[in-house]
Each structure stands twice: as structure tokens, then as C-alpha cells.
Amino acid sequence: MGNICIIGPRASGKTTYLAGLCYYSEYGGSRSKYTVSPIGDESRELKEKAEDTILKGLSFDGTGHYIHTIDDLNYYSFKIEVKRGLFQPRSVIILNVRDYPGEVFENILYASAAVSVHEEFINECFMSDVDGCLLLFTEWESSKDDFYSQLMSRFLGIMDEHGRLHNYRLAVVMSKCERGEIWPGRIDPKTDLFGIYLKKTLKALKEGVPKQNLAFFALSTFGVLGSYDPRPNHDDALGSGGRASTLRVPSRWKPYNLIEPLCWLNREGQKRREKIRT
């Protein structure tokens, strides 16, 4: 796999997602089993932090205002082995990603080119070896829809300016889907989450992105307490950056759908690279 970006607004759970991804290293999805191995010192340190933070009921600090250039950002790499069935070949995803702060993404609407981190963020997002991005949303209240739809329209305009509108994949994700209000909509998030709560945002994406380059997912780093107890396995807390979430019952930690968006990006990215080679 080539590189992908993981981006989203503030408090959308990007760092917690990456920590859960590298710590919860073996689990089964709806159709496959996965093994995740961190690569490099920063990724291994993130796994250790997950054990010292998430499992002790603490929250990660957001990636915040101290960022001045992309060199200040953590860069993580993971090897993800996908095992689909007894007679099907295994596939390997190499995920390389920076942990961008939500402020960088939100300020796309307003940023000046003189602010270097925003310019670097955009340039890195749309480099030729980046297959696409995992775009995390967490606010589902309709009051956010106007802002998100404007932001996505601008983001798609920047994609077009960089010549990536037709060869760039967007895996659009409703994160923290363990919340009781939206948990039932996780099966068909395009219709039952974005189609209900973020209608303008959904319209902007559908009108601006080729159908084959766009997919919708729901995921939860913390999951629910059990198959017969769908209460969220998280508690609300206050972190240094404001609102945060913590793991409620560590012994029942079971993430939901962490890998599936990456598998989609990987599969479509492979198709793009094969087309370029031919």
C-alpha cells in the first residue's frame, strides 16, 4: 500500500484510533481476521502509550496548537495482515500516516498560504504516492452540517486544483459510533448516519467525488460492552484539549470496524497503481 492521510475535525478520535489500531493487534472483522504490527519507534511507543493510557481509563491529549510544521507531527507505520479465508490468499497492507491535528483540517476554509503547516498539509495530502484519505467525522448533530459541507466543498476544490479529483479515494467515516443514538446506523452509515444527520455534507461529497472513489463507514475504537449489552464502552471526560472519551471496562474492549476502511483504500489503491504500471 502507498501512503494515506487520516484527517478530521478536532476531537474526532484520530490519535485514539491509531493507538487502538496498534494495541488491539489481533481481532476479527465481519469477514476477515487481522493482525496489526507497529513498525518503527514512534508506532511502538504509541502502542505502549495505549496500554498506559487507554487501559488505565485515561484519554489521549489531542494533537494541538504546538504544531508549526509537518516535521512536528508524529509519523506512524503499521503492517496489517488480512486473513480472509482458508483457501484465499492473505494480503498485507503497509499503512504510513501522519497524525494531523484537527485544527489544520478545520482551517482549510480560512487558512492563509502564509501559514506553513496548512500549505504543507495540503501538499503532503495530495502527493502522487498518496492513495487517498481516511476522513473521520464525529459530530452528527445537524447544526454541524453547514460547516462540514462547506469545508468538504473546499477540500474537493483543492483536490481538483492538485489534479487528484479522479484518482484519490475518500473513505468517509463516522467515528465513535458506539454512541447509543447512532449505533443502530452503523450497518449502512451512508444512508442511516450521513443521509439522516449530515445531508448537506453527503450531497457535497456525492456531487464532487466520482462514485468509485467514495465509500462510507462507521467505526468505534472503544466499541460496546457486549453483543447483548450495546451500551457504549466509554465514559466522557475532560482532557487538556477539552472533551474526551475514556475506556469504561478494559476487560470488554472490542473495537468495531477499525480495519475495513483501510482494506477498501488498499484495494482501490492497488487498482490505481496497477493501472499506472500498465
- 199-238 pLDDT tens trace: 999 999 999 999 999 999 999 999 999 989 999 998 876 5
Name the one residue in this structure whose C-alpha cell is 453547514: 146
Query: How many domains in the chain?
Result: 1
CATH number at 259 reads 3.40.50.300
Model pTM? 0.87
116 or 258: whose pLDDT is higher? 258
Query: For 78-87, 113-122, 196-205, 260-269, which range has the lowest pLDDT when averaged over its residues?
Result: 113-122
Concatenated DSSP letters of 104-150: HHHGGGT--TTSHHHHHHHHHHT-TTEEEEEEEE---SGGGHHHHHH
Q: What is the pLDDT averaged over residues 174-193?
A: 94
Tens digits of residue pLDDT in 56-103? 777 766 555 555 667 777 788 888 888 776 666 777 888 888 778 788
Q: Which domain holds residue 139?
A: 3-277
Most confident of 19-23, 28-32, 111-115, 267-271: 19-23
Q: Residue 220 phi/psi, 5° resolution?
A: -145, 120
14-23 helix and 41-53 helix, angle to the nearest 10 degrees: 100
- For residue 247, CA distances in Å to 54, 170, 178 come to 6, 28, 12
What is the average pLDDT across 165-178?
94
Distance between CA atoms of residues 255 and 68, nearest Å: 32
